[in-house]
Amino acid sequence: MLVTIRHHLHRRLVAASPAIRGVTAGAGAGAGAGDASFSRHVSSELRTTSWRPVSSTSVEAFSSISSSTSSILSWRAFSSSSSSSSSLRESYNHILVERRFPDESNNNSARGGVGIITLHRPKALNALCDALFDDLIHAVQAFDEDDSIGCIVITGSGKAFAAGADISEMSTREFAHVYKKNMFAQWADITQTSKPIIAAVNGFALGGGCELAMMCDILIAGSNAQFGQPEINLGVIPGAGGTQRLIRAVGKSKAMEMVLTGNRITAQEAMEIGLASKVINSDLLLDEAVKMGFGIADKGGVAVRACKEAVNAAEEMTLSQGLMFERRMFHALFATKDQKEGMSAFLEKRKPNFTDE
């Protein structure tokens, strides 16, 4: 399988995830004054709201802050999922992985690379069998922990992004089995990454394929993309966000139409109703997604993570809670070196030199 690894001169100086974990704990090894200060800010700010971790995570500091049991939200920030993977495998059975770095000969001086994951089970239209999803989660987590990578792109191959969960694998399963196994619950691990994920959707994105795309942070549609939640035709309903994330993206009427009729919509329509952020010529889709990824990877890594968290938190909070969360995150970023660097660079009319600290 294809694993392209290029060394890059502008590797990140500090691993942002460990840095964040360090500051949440208040004194991670090597944490500087800024880190400790960041921790104090975050601690005092979050005392005003009740949070609790959803799983065993690196947020003990946060949970100890909140003694209240009236939490109405699940704190997902900085959580690492149960099966942390550490590094990318040499090859996978059902996906291709690649690290791509900016081409400096092309005047592109972006600091960070983009981790590309291509779903690769083309004969089955990338149907999401258990083994494919295991591969996907492993690679996503590996890129999330890779200091040289600032953004992740998930795309499809052949004529599909993914035509849904694997029907042949599911068809004979019984209730007791799927209930006891909590079938597909692990898919949500995709949403636990700290780095942004761009879905570059080519061809069919149906059922679980559409749901996977919606789990990502930015959804770009190739001109040949088709989206749909056809589970109703199989005697079931969407099970990985199709009734929940879709309504938040497109509103009740359109979401209802899609899940009740199973009809597909085009890339253009997906963009018009807010499911996709833009439509790109299919031949240029991956390059455009990677270009966007380079742009994100070039920003300060702490602020990027804070952006992702704040926007995703909006889906689970009331407006006043969300505004408070956003403001406190904003305040906390004043404890970072990147905030000082970014604002100084603006005033000095130069490009900022972010270090993710």
Torsion sign across C-alpha atoms 143, 145, 149, 153: positive
- Tell me whether residue 165 is one of the annotated catalytic residues: yes
Q: Does 166 bind ligand CO8 (CB under 6 A)?
A: yes
Among 125, 198, 270, 332, binds ligand CO8 (CB under 6 A): 125
User: Of the candidates 52, 33, 83, 76, which has an alpha carbon nearest to the alpha carbon of residue 308?
Assistant: 76
Which H or E run contains 90? none
Among 239, 293, 300, 301, binds ligand CO8 (CB under 6 A): 239
**Per annotation, catalytic residue among 208, 209, 239, 242:** 208
First to last CA, the chain: 35
Among 113, 164, 293, 301, binds ligand CO8 (CB under 6 A): 164
The region of 41-49, 142-150, 160-168, 308-316 touching ligand CO8 under the rule CB under 6 A is 160-168
- Tell me whether residue 208 is one of the annotated catalytic residues: yes
| CB 212, min distance to ligand CO8, A | 9
Residues 329-333: contacts with CB under 8 Å, at least 24 apart: 331/41, 331/45, 332/38, 332/41, 332/42, 332/45, 332/306, 333/302, 333/303, 333/306
Please, which residue, 207 or 300, has the CB nearer to ligand CO8?
A: 207
Residues pairing with 197 in the sheet: 152
| CB 159, min distance to ligand CO8, A | 7
| CB 194, min distance to ligand CO8, A | 24
Please, which residue, 106 or 168, has the CB nearer to ligand CO8?
A: 168
Query: What are the residues whose beta carbons fall under 8 Å from the beta carbon of 265, sequence distance 6 or more?
Result: 226, 227, 228, 258, 273, 275
Where does this chain bind ligand CO8 (CB under 6 A)? 124-125, 127, 163-168, 183-184, 204, 206-208, 230-231, 234, 239-240
